[in-house]
């Protein structure tokens, strides 16, 4: 091919049209920013989106630890993003080329029995597949199956850094923590883990006017942030010390709702130790190891324990709240990087306490 013809075949990013740059997983603790095949429409219901903004999730760190065996060598990571639709399949009717869209972390066909129940996370041909069983959003382009029901058209003027927080962490914190925990007016709520998911649960729990929100985390900087976001009490202790401190704060009544937002046995144990009679334990965390369920203590306490993978059924509502200014997801963004510095961004997010990082945003030029 002549040089002039080759130049015509370059994408807007300067990489060959058949390839793109992406953050690729190569097994536990191994990742690389490298060339990968550029996606194209494979089915009539697909769309290809040029990713303009994405972010790194705590789940991506769990993947890198080897906690998610469905993610195999060569997978492009990422399940959150905002971008511009580049290509649509013949069966896509609601999303159009040139639309600015929010990418849902959950892919939904919209027609299977689980989707009909609103359990999009268990879609027979979707669910959490982006950055898991198909290539994800930490790349210049991404293919989105079932585009009509897995993408949300947004105003061209909308703040992308705020919107990308609605791909996953806000619906996850809200649905898996607040809704599953059945937070009610006047409740005492404890959130174990003041990372991005825990903070999203903190912000959305306030929709229901709990009387107390206790944030538990050993990171004093994150607790300072939590206090500014509306936490009424903070606890830096861990393990049994945290349990004793929360019990003291509640005069040994325990909390009405304990939200687990980390995904390790120690934080799950704290939730079991602080929940009061008739209370709810709402698990959000991605658990890579088994936990001990203390039924010898809880069997008689009328406790409800819930688990959930986010369904994103609340995304339209959260999107309205964000666009109106009633919900401010941008509060969680602490660091911004060009997409090409994805490796550095991962280093920052992996050392969140030292770097004082909450959500790290990656931008495509």
| Per-residue pLDDT of the chain in tens (365 residues, 90 and over written 9) | 333 333 333 334 444 469 999 999 999 999 999 999 999 999 999 999 999 999 999 999 999 999 899 999 999 999 999 999 999 999 999 999 999 999 999 999 999 999 999 999 999 999 999 999 999 999 999 999 999 999 999 999 999 999 999 999 999 999 999 999 999 999 999 999 999 999 999 999 999 999 999 999 999 999 999 999 999 999 999 999 999 999 999 999 999 999 999 999 999 999 999 999 999 999 999 888 999 999 999 999 999 999 999 999 999 999 999 999 999 999 999 999 999 999 999 999 999 999 999 999 999 97
Contact (Cβ atoms closer than 8 angstroms) between residue 229 and residue 327: no
Secondary element (H or E) of residue 237: none
Instruction: Check whether residue 149 and residue 62 sit in a common domain.
Output: yes
Instruction: Check whether residue 160 and residue 128 sit in a common domain.
Output: yes
From the list 278, 282, 244, the residue with the least C-alpha distance to 262 is 282
Structural domains in the chain (count): 2
The four Cα atoms 230, 232, 235, 236 give a dihedral, to 10 degrees, of: 40
Residues 274, 283: Cα–Cα separation, whole Å: 14
Q: Which pTM does this prediction carry? A: 0.92
Q: Token digits for 188?
A: 């005492």
From the list 234, 210, 211, the residue with the least C-alpha distance to 222 is 234
Instruction: Check whether residue 193 and residue 143 sit in a common domain.
Output: no
Instruction: Check whether residue 12 and residue 158 sit in a common domain.
Output: yes
Residues 6 or more apart whose Cβ sits within 8 Å of residue 357: 334, 335, 348, 349, 351
Q: Kindly state the DSSP code that residue 176 receives in the 8-state scheme.
A: I
CATH number at residue 58: 3.90.180.10
Q: Which domain holds residue 55?
A: 3-168+312-363
Gyration radius (Cα) of the chain, Å: 21
Secondary element (H or E) of residue 189: strand 188-192
């Amino acid at each position: 091919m002549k040089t002039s013809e080759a130049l015509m075949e370059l994408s807007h990013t300067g990489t060959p049209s058949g390839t793109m740059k992406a953050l690729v997983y190569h097994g536990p603790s191994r990742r690389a920013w490298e060339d990968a095949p550029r996606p194209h429409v494979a089915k009539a219901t697909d769309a290809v989106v040029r990713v303009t903004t994405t972010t790194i999730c705590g789940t991506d760190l769990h993947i890198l630890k080897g906690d998610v065996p469905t993610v195999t060598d060569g997978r492009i990571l990422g399940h959150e993003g905002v971008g511009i639709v580049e290509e649509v399949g013949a069966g896509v009717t609601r999303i159009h080329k040139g639309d600015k869209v929010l990418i849902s972390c959950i892919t939904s066909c919209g027609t299977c029995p689980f989707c009909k129940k609103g359990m999009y996370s268990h879609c027979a041909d979707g669910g959490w597949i982006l950055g898991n069983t198909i290539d994800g959003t930490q790349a210049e382009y991404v293919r989105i199956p079932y585009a009509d029901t897995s993408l949300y058209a947004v105003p061209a003027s909308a703040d992308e850094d705020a919107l990308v927080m609605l791909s996953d962490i806000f619906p996850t914190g809200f649905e898996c923590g607040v809704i599953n925990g059945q937070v009610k007016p006047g409740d005492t709520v404890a959130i174990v883990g003041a990372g991005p998911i825990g903070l999203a649960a903190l912000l959305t729990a306030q929709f229901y006017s709990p009387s107390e929100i206790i944030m538990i985390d050993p990171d004093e900087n994150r607790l300072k942030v939590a206090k500014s976001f509306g936490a009424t009490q903070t606890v830096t202790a861990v393990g049994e010390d945290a349990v004793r401190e929360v019990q003291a704060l509640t005069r040994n009544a325990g909390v009405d709702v304990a939200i687990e937002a980390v995904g390790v046995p120690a934080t799950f144990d704290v939730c079991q130790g602080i929940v009061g009679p008739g209370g709810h334990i709402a698990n959000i965390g991605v658990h890579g190891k088994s936990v001990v369920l203390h039924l010898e203590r809880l069997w008689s306490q009328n406790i409800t324990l819930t688990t959930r993978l986010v369904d994103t059924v609340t995304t339209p509502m959260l999107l309205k709240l964000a666009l109106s200014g009633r919900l401010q997801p941008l509060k969680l963004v602490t660091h911004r990087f060009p997409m090409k510095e994805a490796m550095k961004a991962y280093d920052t997010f992996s050392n969140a306490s030292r770097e004082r990082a909450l959500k790290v945003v990656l931008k495509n030029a």
